[in-house]
Structures are given as structure tokens and as C-alpha cells.
Chain A
């Protein structure tokens, strides 16, 4: 079993010169440089862009539906890395309400898990095919007030990795914490990102 060391790739404006920041989280088997290359397809003018890299190219070893202890200590360590990236951005003068998140697949699960455990006013949250993590969702883990933070959650129906039922459960919890949710479920879509999802992401980034 493994934990993560903080390795972060950066793009866009230097944090000191940027008003907004986006944290991009890659999927299982992928890399920070891969997810950061999505920037060419996103409206990120004026953003500083940061993408942490998972040790072993995976944020946690088993499915996000596995019992949480099976995914430890990797999962907790991944959440700590994100927390530390958020702290770095704040220290460099970026307010939390100007911090955005974008993740795909395992990165989308982690995006939702981190932000919902630390619910607050963020710039926006884009979870492309993912849901909250755990064999069963534990409501007590999720606290705070999103204060209408725009959140995009997408998935395929069915998706080979992410069941729609878990996406719906996650949406309920985020709504409870006052997130402003856009949910898109695409019939028969494979495990990928489509142009339409990018357009919806851009709508949040430019809101």
C-alpha cells in the first residue's frame, strides 16, 4: 500500500499574477501532464493551473465503491495532497471563492470527495464522470456550506466504472450542502469526455 508525495505540475499564469486558480485531477493510470493538457480546450484566461500527480498513477488502488479502509492510506494521503495544494494557492493570494476544481474519472471522484468534505464557497467544481467515494456514503463526513458554488457532474448510463445510482446519491448530498448542481447523464456514452461536457465546463469557468 502506498501514500502520495506532493508533485505538482503548473501552467497558465504564475499564482502571484493570477486572480483565479484551477486544480486538475487526473484519472487512474493517467498523469498530471495529461489532464493539464485539457487546458487548451478550456477557457482558462487569467487562471493559474495546477495538477498534482498521483504516485503509481492512481489516487487509490481499488474501485471508489470498495470499503474505504481498502483504499487507505492512499485515499487519505491523496486528500491531504489536495488540501495542501489548496493551502498553497490561498497563501499565494488566491481566495477560496476563486479556486476551481476539475477531475476526470478517479480524479472526478476525488474532486467531489475533497470538496464535499470541505464544503465552502469555491469558484466551481467540475466532476467529469465520478461520485463520492466509499462502499457506503457516510453523511457525517460531508460538512459545510457550498453557498451556491456551481458544480457540474456528468456520467454515462451505464458507465463501466461509475454507477448512475452513486452519482445520484452524491448529487443529493451536495445539494443538501447547497451546491448549485448541473447533472448530465449521457445514455450509452463510453468512459470519456465529450465536446458537450467541455462546453458545460467552460460555462462554469466563465460564469
Chain B
């Protein structure tokens, strides 16, 4: 489908120590470092992208590691959980791996008929490894320790917590093309039929919940996926017409973006598949070099010295 939102593109969160972040995601969780660049608005800070072997949209988790940042707080008006899809039978592997690596986790549970395992990253960011009901045919990135039998395949879902979900739900259904699939107590599951994976957004309604605080260990924004800039700009018009403030098109080197804050308080981005992460290094070498946008290239010498070593 051409003119639709194709599920989640990427999720961006905030971390503390860069090396700890790199070690956790590449080693413990077994993701590929797909791109090592800097925050375009703050080039003294890394922007690290983790994902599958090709950096496929729907698998991309990115971080701004700000050394010494205070811890955020989960709460309303936030993305509160990030769900990864994992193969059937892999949860025992992950339980043991989390145990061995001192990762905080909960014992597996079930929702909407799917088994999941909750864990926290070193900064307290909350994740779920979910065994999806329907087969997930995406090819995972494999490492020596996390092979295909257990590896994450990209996102399964995100959860947004709200005091009142109505306005957010309306954006999901009327603008982004999601539909309500099922509901259990206060959790409402929305899904888009445009893609097979990374297609779920859960809204959880907690009227009394205090608003969360975005800092270390919390989600900065979630990006939804469109095929190209033409569709991107169609969405810009659609969203602007609702009276919501939306940015101009921004060139992020690996995709083009628009940002708007949905009425429930979460920063949403819409991002294109083009040009992708292989635009400045071959797929075989993704994440190998420090990549700087042209406007910061003159700072390379300085930045290479200033940015902390990841290995």
C-alpha cells in the first residue's frame, strides 16, 4: 500500500553512559550497531542506531547517550513500553541471559494470547520480548551468542500510557490508519493492516497516573513509517489541517522527517524509508565508522577526540 503509515519506523530514547548503552544493545541484546553518528542539533553527543542487519525500518532503536543525565520517570503522556518480537521458545534463553548479565526482568506473562518477558535496560528503559501469535518472517541480525533461534526480529509493538486515550486513539485511527483490534481492561490494542510487523500500538488508560518525565531511560519520540517524501508531505498537510503544529520536512541523512506532538502528549515523528542507512556506508560496514552530517564534518577531529570510546 502506497499512501499509508507502514507501522513503526524507529523509536528514539535517552541513555546515560554511551559505552554501557553500546555494550548492552550489541552484546546482551545482540542488535547490530547500524549507525554511529551525532545528534544533529548537539554534535557533542552521539546518536547511536541499533537494528537488524540491514537497518530495516521497524527494527531501529536509537539513543542519545547523555552522560550524567538524571533518570526519567515512566508515566502518562509517554511511550512506556517497547515490544520486540522474538521466536517461539526463546524466552527461556532470554531469562537465563538476563540472569547471567544482571538485567532486571519479570517472570514471563501473557497478554492478548501472547507470551512476553519484561526487562529493563541499564538506564531503566522498559521493554518486552513478545512471542507473536502470527509467524514473524523477518530475518534477524545474529551474533555469536544470540543466534536466529532466539534473536529479536524487530519491533512488535509500543505502548503509550494516557490519562484519557480518546484523542490519541483518534489520531491513530483517523490520521495514521490504525484500527482498534481488541481491548482488555484498560489496554486498547490498535493495529495497522498496511504491514505485517511492527504494526501494533497499545494505548493504556490510567486516569490518575502522573505525567512521566522524559530523561534517562525514557522514550524521546516514536517515528511512524512512510515509503517516501511524497507520502510524507501528504501527511504533513493532513496533520496541519487538524490544527496541530507540525515541523517542516527535516533531512536526517538516513530518512526525511516531520515531528508533531499528538494530543496525548507524545512526540510523534513520521519518517521515510528513503534513502536508508546504506547511503553513506555499505551494508557490510554499517555502524563501523563515525558518520557526520555535512554541516558538522568540519568538527570531525574535535569530535573524534571528545566522543567517548564505545569499545
By a beta-carbon cutoff of 8 Å, the part of chain A in contact with chain B is 27, 29-30, 34-35, 37-38, 41, 104, 128, 156-161, 188-195, 198
Contact = CB atoms under 8 A, between A and B. Distances in A.
B144 interface: yes
B144 A190 contact: yes
Contacts of B144: 156-160, 188-190
A29 B284 contact: no
B288 interface: yes
A166 to B, nearest CB: 15
A190 B148 CA distance: 13
Contact of B285 (A41, A159, A188): A41
Nearest to B148: A160
Nearest to B30: A190
B287 to A, nearest CB: 8
Given A160-B148, A190-B32, A192-B32, A37 B142 contact: no
Contact of A38 (B143, B285, B289): B285
B284 A190 contact: no
Interface string B119-156: 00000000000000000000101111101100000000
Interface in B46-60: 53-54
A193 B285 contact: yes
Nearest to A34: B283
Contacts of A38: 282, 284-285
A37 B286 CA distance: 12
Task: Please list the 5 inter-chain residue pairs (A to B) with the smallest Cβ-Cβ separation, ordered nearest first.
Answer: A160-B142, A37-B282, A190-B143, A158-B144, A160-B147
Contacts of B147: 160
Interface residues of B, number: 23
Contacts, number: 60
B284 A193 contact: yes
A184 B145 CA distance: 19
B288 A35 contact: no
Nearest to A38: B282
Given A160-B147, A195-B288, A190 B141 contact: yes
Interface in B260-311: 278, 281-289
Contacts of A188: 143-145
Of B26, B278, B289, most A-chain CB atoms within 10 Å: B278
Given A104-B284, A193-B285, A37 B278 contact: yes
A160 B145 CA distance: 8
A32 B144 CA distance: 26
* From B26, B30, B144, B148, residue with most partner A Cβ within 10 Å: B144
Contact of A190 (B26, B281, B282, B289): B26
A21 to B, nearest CB: 20
A88 B148 CA distance: 39
| Most chain A beta-carbon contacts within 10 A, residue among B26, B145, B278, B282 | B282
Contacts of B289: 195
A199 to B, nearest CB: 12
A198 B30 CA distance: 23
Contact of A29 (B30, B139, B285, B286): B139
